[in-house]
Structure 1
Amino acid sequence: MTFRQFAFNNVIRNKRLYAAYFLSSLFTVMVFFTFSIFAYHPALRGTGMHSSVTKGMNISAGIIYVFSFFFILYSMSSFLQSRKREFGLLMIQGMSMKQIRLMVFLENMLIGFFATLGGILLGVVFAKGILLLAENVLIIESRLPFYFPTKAILSTFVSFIVLFFFISLFVTYVLRSKKLIELIKGNKMSKGEPKANIFLTLLAVLLLGIGYTTALLAKGMMIVVVMIPVIIVVIVGTYLLFTQLSVYIIRKLKKKESIFWFKTNMLLFSDLAFRMKDNARTFFMVSIVSTVAFSAIGTLFGFQTVLTSNIKNVQATTFSYKAYEPENEKQNVEFINKTLQEEKIKADSEHTVMSYYEIANDKILITKESDFNRFASLIGEKQIDVKDGQVIVVEFEGTNFGQTTELLDETVKLDTGVILKPKEDEVIYSRALPATDSYYIVSDHDYDELPKPIEKQSFYAWQVKSGKEKIMGVSEKIYDHIERHEFTSVDYEIYEIMKFYGPILFVGLFIGVVFFVSAGSFLYFRLYMDLDEDKQKFSSIAKMGLTVKELKKVLTRQTAILFFAPIIVALIHGAVALTALSNLFEFNIFKESVMVLGVFLIIQIIYFFIVRFFYTKQIQAVI
């Protein structure tokens, strides 16, 4: 058997440990290759929107590549830790450290080579499906036909072979400092049960409390100012949470006999306390990486909601027209009605003249009850009753910059000398009129008594009842004839936003998924590094009377803590981050936050049950 064959057989023998590393690397290569397919796609060459898609994919591929380096480096470090004893035995049998480094180098290059080929092959197999998905998500008008991505294959292959080569060199260099006695004892060399420093334990609670409180209480642009300090404080607090606070809690629980001596809790807590120092680093890394994934995807979905909702809040009707140029008003309205008629689109319409008055050195809309009710009825909102002498403040449903409070402090003066004072308990929310700020409603009688307005604007609105499938085509025809700042089609405006935002969302989703898969792989590595030790331990305990049912219970708890402790911390971090984002935009994205965090939690639960099943099966096999 040659030395190369020996290295190859080593990989085959350790296929269980290498499986997660290989599959995660394969997935990373496939994602990088996917971005390369878009970057080199003939249909996306050129300028404008297609150019921005290509640039986005190239930047994303770069982010994935850099992250892959650190991910694979961490993975290899885990394997070296788990194989210390094996290296020591090989040295006793006459293998030099130089040969061991060469063996590790060959093994890593072998795995890297097949992971790269496998990732490219899977990418080619699923390329057509990914391109079809991209046509819808990216909202690209032209089709993205399948093509054989020669350039993408070459760039991906070369990039990852080079990456695996340098990582292989690095990890072999790390082996230099290992002594024979350290290698022989391997993982049996106890680092001792870690002890919690009371000062650092309190500091962990204090830092996380300060970080959370600052993030949740900051408003508006102050969130941007405190963002970097809060991130640093929370990261340090998270590290201390796992290295100090968790140790402190476990030691306290161990001292409570009613808990520690209850059934199989002794096995659970003893094992946790012994391994906490090593697990703490993994927990910290997984929680931070997962938080990045949660926050990135949650932010992207939240920002998408903010953009589209603001348009819907300002323009509640399907089409609207503001006559900024009165001389063209009549012919433009006739053109809109004629186009709707030609396309056989049925729509209800209303018209009003919006009057603006100077109040507190600002231009404020004041409308009358009858006009407001006509437009409220058009969009299906409840009509209101405004009595003479009464003034109602309508608050804008979108981002509020405090104008409602200002209007409540002001008054409306009629020509007759009567002063109308708004009441705080009479503020309403409505999308009936296209106002980007709060405004007043008065009775028809009081409206006639108002002084001359400083500005008037003619406004038309159409609410489509049938023929909605033709809205996009009709919108394009009207936009070709009327200026965009005058005519608005809500569906078309949202389409235009998503056309620009689609690539960002697509890219962010892929990167977030890569981060989350990598975090899951870290947990897998940590669990399976201790498999041989667990086999030996539970085999010995089984001889003392541990039943299969009790074994499963202990393993389930042990695996659950490993999988969910960092994820729960990450979910809390993500929830705070997304709440701060809501405060920044002054827009509620609770629904989007719950959806994103919930999906990731469900994926983690499924992953936990799969890993627990195979892990328990491995332990049971030796009992």
Structure 2
Amino acid sequence: MTFRQFAFNNVSRNKRLYAAYFLSSLFTVMVFFTFAIFAFHPALSGDEMNGNVVKGMNVAAGIIYVFSFFFILYSMSSFLQSRKKEFGLLMMHGMSMRQIRSMVFLENMIIGFFATLGGITLGLVFAKAILLLAQNVLIIENELNFYIPVGAVGLTFGSFIVLFFVISLFVSYVLRSRKLIELLKGDKKSKGEPKANLLLTVLGILLLGTGYTIAFFVKGVIVVVALLPVVVLVILGTYLFFTQISVFAVRRLKNKETWFWRKTNMILFSDLSYRMKDNARTFFLVAVISTVAFSAIGTLFGLQTFLTAGIKTGNPNTFTYYGDAQEQQTVAAINRTLQEEGVQADQAHMFLRYYKMGGERVQISKESDYNRFAALIGKAPVDVPDGQVFAVRADSFTIGRNPERMDATVELATGVVLQPGKMFSSNALPFADSYIVSDRDYELLPAPAEERSFYAWQATDGKQHVLAAAEKLEAQMLHDVFCSEYRIYQINKQYGPVMFVGLFIGIVFFVSAGSFLYFRLYMDVDGDKQKFKTIARMGLSEKELKQVLNRQTAILFFAPIVVALLHGAVALTSLSHLFFYDLFRESAVVLGVFLAIQIVYFFIVRFYYTKQIKAAIRM
């Protein structure tokens, strides 16, 4: 058997520990290759919008490539840490440290080569489906047909072979300082009882509490100012949580005899403090990376919802138009275009009158005008008594509202003062908060400071052709005509690439975080086999074994994820305070989807982990 065959056999015989490393690397290569396919696609050249898509894909590919370097480097370090005893035995049989470094270099290059080939192959298999998905998500007018991505294949293969080569050299260099006695002892060195520093424990609680409090209570533009301090506080607090607070909590539980001696708790908590301490840096890294993924995707999703919901709420009519010098020609053009496209719509017209009140410009409308526009969008009519004024709060954004103005009085030209009546929310009238008075009192108002003609159309049939009508009106340079559906379409078209790129990057981060947990769990599997094999001889039943393994694995697997979910929820809450817009639904969807994926991943990992422990006990 040659030296190269020996290295290849080492890889093939360590499938369990190499599996997550190989599959995660393969997935990363596939995602990078996907972005490369877009970057080289002939349909995305020449147009400014498509050029922005390509730029976004290139930036995303660069981010993924840099992240892949550190991810693979960390994965290899974790893997080598679990093989120290194996390297020591090889040295006892005459293998030199130089040969061990060469073996590790070859092993990593073998995995990198096949992961790169596998990622490119999977990318080609799913290329058509991904292009079709992207064409709809990105709202690209040109059809993204499948093509032979020679440039993408060359770029991906060359980039990742270089990446694996550099990491293999680096890891081989690190190994050269290992001594035989250190390798033979492996992880059997006594670590002593883990202890938490009370001062650092309290500091960690204060840091997290302060960061959360600031994030919950600041609002508006102050959220942007507080962003950096909150991030620093939470990151430091998270590190202390895993290195100090978790160890402190486990020791407190162990000191409660009624709890510690109950059923299988002694087995569960006997080495949990060691596990938490040993895995603190991994848990911290997973929590931070997962928080970045949750927050990035939640922010993108929430921002898109915020923008589109604001347009829908503030502009409920299908088409609106403010009159200008070309008013008659424009109204005729709109009606003609709607008829040509087969869009049937109800139409309403009014004059918007603005008055100076308390140094501000406010809109006052009469009851009959409001009721006509309310009927247009299916809102209930109002009945304003003579001598009263109803305040209407815009059923849209809260930014810029003046609550005190809603309780103001209105003075007629006759000197009579209308008293405040009911106040309610509605988006029947355009944009701003306004007042409604009875038709009789409206005629007695003084001359307005400004008056504008306003038209609205609400589609009742042929709604599927609204975008076509809007595009035709846009081509006629009728810029004062506003179509909410067309504006949302434009936002989604511009926002699509950002959402698409952010989603992929978030998924890569999340998959990598799950892989880190897999590495740490399986690094200790050999020691767990020996431990549970010994305990089983003392009378531990299979049911009790399963219970201990389930609880231990769940704690180690979900501790960083739960922390990340809390961080993500706080971050998205702070984002909602920035926009004064409730993002609870969007936050729940994003965090719920990630939690569901993690639960599925946990059950898969737990199944194979438990299977190995049980197999070792039966031997």
Whole-angstrom CA distance in 1 between matches of 2:515 and 2:179: 29
Unaligned runs of 5+ in 1: none
TM-score by length of 1: 0.97
Partner of 1:340: 338
1:531 corresponds to which of 522, 525, 548: 525
Tell me whether 1:462 sits opposite 2:457 in the alignment: yes
Check conservation: 2:342, 2:465, Cα contact below 8 A. Answer: no
Tell me whether 1:490 sits opposite 2:488 in the alignment: no
Check conservation: 2:391, 2:406, Cα contact below 8 A. Answer: yes
Tell me whether 1:204 sits opposite 2:204 in the alignment: yes
Kindly report which structure 2 residues correspond to 1:319-334, keeping only aligned pairs within 5 A, or say none.
Answer: 319-323=319-323, 325=324, 327-334=325-332
Check conservation: 1:393, 1:404, Cα contact below 8 A. Answer: no
Whole-angstrom CA distance in 2 between matches of 1:370 and 1:222: 42
Whole-angstrom CA distance in 2 between matches of 1:495 and 1:525: 44
Q: 1:293 to 1:159 in 2, by over 3 A?
A: same
Could you say what secondary structure the match of 1:166 adopts? helix
Whole-angstrom CA distance in 2 between matches of 1:332 and 1:274: 76
Partner of 1:230: 230
Root mean square deviation, CA, Å:
1.2
Check conservation: 1:398, 1:587, Cα contact below 8 A. Answer: no
Which deviates further from its counterpart, 199-208 or 342-351? 342-351
Partner of 1:139: 139
Partner of 1:618: 612
Which deviates further from its counterpart, 408-417 or 592-601? 408-417
Check conservation: 2:388, 2:420, Cα contact below 8 A. Answer: yes
Whole-angstrom CA distance in 1 between matches of 2:262 and 2:394: 58
Partner of 1:558: 552
Partner of 2:468: 473
Check conservation: 1:194, 1:276, Cα contact below 8 A. Answer: no
Unaligned runs of 5+ in 2: none
Check conservation: 2:374, 2:381, Cα contact below 8 A. Answer: yes
Whole-angstrom CA distance in 2 between matches of 1:220 and 1:83: 53
Whole-angstrom CA distance in 1 between matches of 2:420 and 2:14: 76
Partner of 1:397: 395
Amino acid at match of 2:497: P
Whole-angstrom CA distance in 1 between matches of 2:130 and 2:109: 29
Amino acid at match of 1:266: M
Could you say what secondary structure the match of 1:622 adopts? helix
Amino acid at match of 1:391: V
Could you say what secondary structure the match of 1:365 adopts? strand
Which deviates further from its counterpart, 373-382 or 133-142? 373-382
Check conservation: 2:396, 2:427, Cα contact below 8 A. Answer: no
Amino acid at match of 1:440: Y
Deviation of 1:179 after TM superposition, in Å, equals 2.1
Tell me whether 1:442 sits opposite 2:437 in the alignment: yes
Partner of 1:387: 385
Which deviates further from its counterpart, 308-317 or 231-240? 308-317
Whole-angstrom CA distance in 2 between matches of 1:570 and 1:392: 47
Check conservation: 2:194, 2:274, Cα contact below 8 A. Answer: yes
Check conservation: 2:341, 2:468, Cα contact below 8 A. Answer: no
Cα deviation 1:134-178 (Å, max 9, x = unaligned): 010000011000000000000101111111111111111221232
Deviation of 1:409 after TM superposition, in Å, equals 5.4
Amino acid at match of 2:108: N
Partner of 1:14: 14
Whole-angstrom CA distance in 2 between matches of 1:305 and 1:2: 60
Could you say what secondary structure the match of 2:271 adopts? helix
Deviation of 1:446 after TM superposition, in Å, equals 1.8
Partner of 1:221: 221
Whole-angstrom CA distance in 2 between matches of 1:583 and 1:370: 37
Tell me whether 1:356 sits opposite 2:354 in the alignment: yes
Whole-angstrom CA distance in 1 between matches of 2:93 and 2:395: 76
Check conservation: 2:30, 2:123, Cα contact below 8 A. Answer: yes
Deviation of 1:427 after TM superposition, in Å, equals 2.6
Partner of 2:97: 97
Whole-angstrom CA distance in 2 between matches of 1:555 and 1:386: 70
Whole-angstrom CA distance in 1 between matches of 2:611 and 2:445: 82
Deviation of 1:351 after TM superposition, in Å, equals 0.9
> How many equivalent residue pairs?
617
Deviation of 1:421 after TM superposition, in Å, equals 4.3
Deviation of 1:589 after TM superposition, in Å, equals 1.1
Kindly report which structure 2 residues correspond to 1:604-615, keeping only aligned pairs within 5 A, or say none.
Answer: 604-615=598-609
Whole-angstrom CA distance in 2 between matches of 1:397 and 1:213: 29
Partner of 1:428: 424
Tell me whether 1:76 sits opposite 2:76 in the alignment: yes
The percent identity for this pair of structures is 66
Deviation of 1:213 after TM superposition, in Å, equals 0.6
Whole-angstrom CA distance in 2 between matches of 1:57 and 1:219: 33
Kindly report which structure 2 residues correspond to 1:14-413, keeping only aligned pairs within 5 A, or say none.
Answer: 14-323=14-323, 325=324, 327-408=325-406, 410-413=408-411
Which deviates further from its counterpart, 346-355 or 173-182? 173-182
Amino acid at match of 1:377: A
Partner of 1:415: 413
Could you say what secondary structure the match of 2:279 adopts? helix
Whole-angstrom CA distance in 2 between matches of 1:275 and 1:301: 36
Deviation of 1:504 after TM superposition, in Å, equals 0.4
TM-score by length of 2: 0.98
Deviation of 1:479 after TM superposition, in Å, equals 1.9
Whole-angstrom CA distance in 1 between matches of 2:441 and 2:559: 63
Kindly report which structure 2 residues correspond to 1:561-576, keeping only aligned pairs within 5 A, or say none.
Answer: 561-576=555-570
